[in-house]
């Protein structure tokens, strides 16, 4: 199958959960499929610029059997209206960090959901706060690392700078542990096994920590973030962290819809 992926930025040039998600599933899918990408490097960052530039890549859209967009489905709104039969899918990752969620953001996602051929939501909370009806709900996955058993101590933070990190710094002081901070290291996922505690707020880092048996502390400061963290199977008895192949299989099931 020929797959065209649209995503703002790519890993590892840009460190982020969405970028890594796309990179990791592509590693699995490329074993059986041919994948090409369109990013903001090609189409720009302003919506009018994007809508104009998308048409320059019509041959790429024609080449693809499936077009899959990560979050930025609005990029192809106009293209889709003139190419209604094209099979296009979307993954909705997380939220924009604004609470309460602005109605504009909800409407943009709802339009994208209605136009797309199918969708994946990363998190159950999206159904509650964006009124999305997903074909599949996922939470991410983690690589499997073979790590030496060592005496664990202290804490690790993997994520972006901001108020979450400031809270975790205070938590480390209260717990009297050292906090090692990684905000821009593409190899950070392989470090969790060295630490007793993981101070992380995103699904991907939480799963990476869990897969290495590191105790997770996650911070929330509003009801949405509380639901983001608690509307998950992470605390369920017998829960197994999915592999990226498991997630790639879900994408293939979606495209067969």
CA distance 23 to 245: 12
Chain-wide mean pLDDT for the chain?
96
pLDDT value at residue 212: 94
Task: Look at residue 146 and tell me whether its pLDDT is greater than 90.
Answer: no
What tokens were used for 131?
A: 């009124």
Identify the CA nearest to 251 among candidates 10, 58, 21, 15.
21
pLDDT value at residue 7: 98
Percentage of the chain modeled with pLDDT above 70 = 100
Q: pLDDT of 49-81, one tens digit each?
A: 999 999 999 999 999 999 999 999 999 999 999
Q: Domain residues of the chain, as ranges?
A: 2-141+243-255, 155-230
What tokens were used for 205?
A: 């880092």
Task: Look at residue 137 and tell me whether its pLDDT is greater than 80.
Answer: yes
Q: What is the DSSP string of 31-60?
A: TTSEEEEE-HHHH-SSHHHHHHHGGGGHHH
CA distance 55 to 78: 9
Q: pLDDT of 208-229, one tens digit each?
A: 999 999 999 999 999 999 999 9
Task: Look at residue 148 and tell me whether its pLDDT is greater than 80.
Answer: no
For residues 124 and 150, which has the higher predicted lDDT (pLDDT)? 124
pLDDT value at residue 149: 75
How many other CB atoms are found less than 10 A from the CB of residue 103? Answer: 8
pLDDT value at residue 130: 98
What tokens were used for 4?
A: 């065209």
Task: Look at residue 147 and tell me whether its pLDDT is greater than 80.
Answer: no
User: What is the CATH code of the structural domain delimited by 2-141+243-255?
Assistant: 3.40.50.2000
Does the structural domain 155-230 have CATH classification 3.60.70?
Answer: no
Query: For the whole prediction, is pTM greater than 0.85?
Result: yes
Which class for 172: exposed (0-12), middle (13-18), buried (19 or more C-beta within 10 A)? buried
């Amino acid at each position: 199958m020929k797959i065209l992926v649209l995503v703002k930025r790519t890993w590892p040039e840009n460190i982020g959960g969405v970028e890594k998600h796309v990179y990791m599933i592509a590693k699995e899918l490329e074993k059986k499929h041919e994948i090409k990408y369109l990013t903001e490097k090609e189409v720009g960052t302003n919506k009018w610029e994007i809508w104009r530039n998308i048409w320059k890549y019509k041959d790429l859209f024609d080449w693809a059997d499936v077009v899959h967009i990560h979050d930025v489905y609005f990029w192809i709104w106009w293209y889709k209206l003139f190419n209604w039969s094209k099979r296009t899918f979307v993954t909705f990752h997380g939220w924009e960090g604004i609470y309460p969620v602005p109605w504009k953001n909800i409407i943009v996602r709802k339009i994208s959901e209605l136009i797309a051929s199918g969708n994946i939501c990363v998190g159950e909370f999206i159904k509650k706060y964006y009124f999305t009806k997903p074909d599949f709900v996922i939470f991410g996955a983690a690589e499997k690392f073979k790590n030496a058993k060592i005496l664990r101590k202290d804490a690790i933070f993997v994520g972006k700078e901001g108020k979450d990190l400031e809270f975790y710094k205070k938590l480390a002081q209260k717990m009297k542990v050292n906090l090692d901070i990684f905000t821009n290291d593409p190899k950070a996922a392989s470090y969790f096994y060295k630490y007793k505690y993981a101070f992380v707020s995103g699904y991907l880092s939480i799963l990476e920590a869990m897969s290495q048996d590191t105790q997770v502390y996650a911070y929330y400061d509003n009801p949405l973030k509380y639901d983001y963290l608690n509307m998950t199977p992470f605390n369920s008895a017998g829960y197994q962290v999915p592999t990226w192949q498991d997630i790639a299989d879900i994408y293939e099931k979606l495209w067969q819809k």
